[in-house]
Chain A
Amino acid sequence: EVQFLESGGGLVQPGGSLRLSCVASGLTFSSYAMSWVRQAPGKGLEWVSVISGSGASTYYADSVKGRFTISRDNFKNTLYLQMNSLRAEDTALYYCAKGLDYRLLDYDYWGQGTLVTVSS
């Protein structure tokens, strides 16, 4: 069974940093692109970033470009999101999601999310 478990969320002050992790199981992790998608409390989904299976290609939403970095360790079956210069508007539940088939985008499996709160 394909499963993802996110961790690393918490309360951080504006301007601070946080690193999220997403551990995968039940699949050949390196074969699939992985993404981060976030959802502010009571709001809709917002796409954040994607990384190819090899890690060679990455893309970001304009709202996080230059502040967030996506990476992966295929030996540890783990996806990361390094978040710097955090703002109040980054407060959200962050999901990791697996790319459908062998494409970068569209998602067939999701984790349960980790909550990031940016507040002083």
Chain B
Amino acid sequence: QSALTQPASVSGSPGQSITISCTGTSSDVGRFNYVSWYQQRPGKAPKLMIYDVTNRPSGVSNRFSGSKSGNTASLTISGLQPEDEADYYCSSYTSTSTPYVFGTGTKVTVL
């Protein structure tokens, strides 16, 4: 099971919106509506930001939203803020022998 594909980096200015893509296959992203997104700040553990493609856990800002089309999921951060600077990872259930897979990760930089 290969990692889901994400862009290595995405950047934006404060107040702008950015979108991070997460491309998988028909065995993972395309098959299940169980795509999640995690934020990881330097030296910290990951934090769940989105689950089941579009749902936000309690306490997560509504500036974060998720979507999916076919084999590609996306995370959009609206009204970009300096504290959004972090690495972001998508994940998905899979139908292969490894039941869960993460994306390659995207570094978000706030200019």
Contact = CB atoms under 8 A, between A and B. Distances in A.
Interface of A: 35, 37, 44-47, 50, 59-63, 65, 95, 97, 100, 104-108, 110-113
Interface in B89-111: 89, 91, 93, 97-105
A105 B36 CA distance: 10
29 contacts: A37-B46, A37-B102, A44-B102, A45-B38, A45-B91, A45-B102, A46-B102, A47-B91, A47-B101, A50-B100, A61-B1, A62-B1, A62-B97, A63-B98, A97-B46, A100-B57, A104-B99, A105-B93, A105-B99, A105-B100, A106-B34, A106-B36, A106-B51, A106-B52, A106-B91, A107-B46, A107-B48, A110-B47, A112-B45
Nearest to A110: B45
Interface string B13-40: 0000000000000000000001010101
B49 to A, nearest CB: 11
Contacts, number: 62
A45 B89 contact: yes
B3 interface: yes
Nearest to A107: B48
Interface string B80-94: 000000000101010
A62 B98 contact: yes
Give the contact-size bracket for chain B. Answer: 20 to 34
B45 A111 contact: yes
Given A45-B89, A105-B34, A100 B100 contact: no
Nearest to A93: B45
A106 B49 CA distance: 11
Q: Which 8 A-B pairs have the closest CB atoms?
A: A110-B45, A44-B105, A45-B102, A47-B100, A61-B98, A105-B100, A106-B36, A108-B48
A107 B52 CA distance: 12
